[in-house]
């Protein structure tokens, strides 16, 4: 097992167990999209564009009662250690689905029957926790697009590393550690909209891990809010 925690209880990058990686978020940088956001979190660099609500072009995906939400999580070929082939991988297809399911509960899709909302997530550079950062950013982009929402969705992974529960796994901690547990949550209602886990946890550890994630999500949510406010004032000022 690789040594990921030093004697002073610090992680490889100097963080404490409950500390997030450095992050920054911006809203509204794409001109042609209805809404957009950019996030950096650790080595992740992720751009999200939202288009819609717009008329559904294909009859296949139309719903008479609400907008259809579509989501594509996509890694650029140069975003990974080894060049990623441009065809969508099974991993990307699954992540696209769980991200869509994590975001939909926050949206009032009933207000836009027969239309479609597209979320395009482009991972420019990937690091551990890219699905969480994608959700956090997509949430900003949806708000930026003016789509009515019950709450923002904030997401982060908790993991187990050398036996310790730690917040916001880096790539190395994800690969060399024991557990990866990404969680997305709407903090107002406390509803968890994404949860996946790889690796072994006891029931007690699992319960603690959720609490750790909640604390991290709270911090991220504050930054999401700030990014939206900043965008708003920029628009008012200009």
Partner 1 sequence: MKGLVLDNLRRDQLTDAISKGRRLDGRGMSEYRKLEIRPGIIPKAEGSARVKLGDTEVMAGVKIEHGKPFPDTPDQGVLIINAEVLPLASEYAEPGPPDEDAIELARVVDRGIRESKMVDVNKLVIVPGKEVYLMYVDISVISTGGNLFDASSYAVVAALMNTKFKILKQEENGSVIPTGETSELPIVDLPVSITAVKIKKGIILDPDVEEESINDGRLTVAYDQEGNLCAIQKGQASGLKVEEIMEMVKMGKEKVPEIREMIRGALEKNG
Residues that bind partner 1 (CB under 8 A): 30-33, 36, 43, 45, 47-49, 51, 54, 69, 72, 74, 76-83, 86-87, 90-91, 93-94, 96-98, 100-101, 104-105, 118, 120, 122, 124-126, 181, 185-186, 189-203, 206-207, 210, 214
Q: How far is the CB of 236 from partner 1 (least distance, A)?
A: 22
| CA 202 – CA 77 distance, rounded (Å) | 37
Q: Measured from the CB atom, is 184 or 220 closer to partner 1? A: 184
Nearer to partner 1 by Cβ, of 9 and 57: the residue is 57
Least distance to partner 1, CB of residue 107, Å: 9
Closest approach, Cβ 126 to partner 1, in A, equals 7
What is d(CA 233, CA 85) in angstroms, rounded to the nearest whole number?
A: 40
**Cβ of residue 133: shortest distance to partner 1, in angstroms?**
15
Please tell me the distance from the alpha carbon of residue 126 to that of residue 41, in angstroms, as a whole number: 10
Is the CB of 215 or the CB of 229 nearer to partner 1? 215
CB of 193 to partner 1, least distance (A): 5
Which is nearer to partner 1, 4 or 145 (by Cβ)? 145
**Which CB sits closer to partner 1, 14 or 78?**
78
- Do residues 116 and 104 touch, judged by C-beta distance below 8 A? no
**Residue closer to partner 1 (CB basis): 72 or 114:** 72
How far does CA 133 lie from the centroid of its chain?
3
* Cβ–Cβ < 8 Å for 123, 114: no
C-alpha 76/C-alpha 125 separation (Å) is: 8
CA dist 68 and 114 (Å) reads: 8
Q: Which of 75, 97, 15, 48 is nearest to 227 (CA)?
A: 48
Q: Taking the CB of residue 50, how many other CB atoms lie within 10 A of it?
A: 26
H/E stretch holding 218 = helix 203-237
Least Å distance between CB 94 and partner 1?
5
Kindly tell me the burial class for residue 14, based on how many C-beta atoms sit within 10 Å of its own C-beta (0-12, 13-18, 19 or more).
exposed
């Amino acid at each position: 097992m690789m040594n990921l925690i030093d004697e002073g209880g610090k992680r490889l990058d100097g963080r404490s167990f409950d500390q997030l990686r450095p992050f920054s978020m911006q809203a509204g940088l794409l001109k042609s999209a209805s809404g957009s956001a950019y996030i950096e979190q650790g080595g992740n660099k992720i751009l999200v564009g939202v288009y819609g609500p717009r008329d559904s072009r294909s009859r296949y995906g139309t719903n008479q009662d609400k907008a259809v939400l579509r989501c594509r999580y996509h890694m650029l070929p140069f975003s990974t250690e080894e060049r990623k082939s441009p065809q969508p991988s099974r991993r990307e297809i699954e992540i696209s689905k769980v991200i869509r399911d994590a975001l939909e509960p926050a949206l009032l899709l009933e207000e836009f029957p027969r239309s479609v909302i597209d979320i395009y997530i482009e991972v420019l550079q990937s690091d551990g926790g890219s699905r969480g950062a994608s959700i956090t950013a997509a949430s900003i982009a949806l708000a930026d697009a003016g789509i009515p929402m019950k709450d923002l969705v904030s997401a982060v992974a908790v993991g187990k590393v050398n036996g310790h529960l730690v917040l916001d796994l880096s790539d190395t901690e994800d690969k060399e550690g024991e557990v990866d547990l990404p969680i997305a949550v709407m903090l107002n209602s406390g509803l968890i909209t994404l949860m996946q886990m790889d690796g072994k946890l006891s029931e007690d550890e699992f319960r603690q891990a959720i609490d750790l994630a909640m604390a991290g999500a709270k911090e991220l949510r504050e930054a999401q809010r700030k990014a939206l406010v900043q965008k708003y004032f920029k628009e008012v000022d200009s």
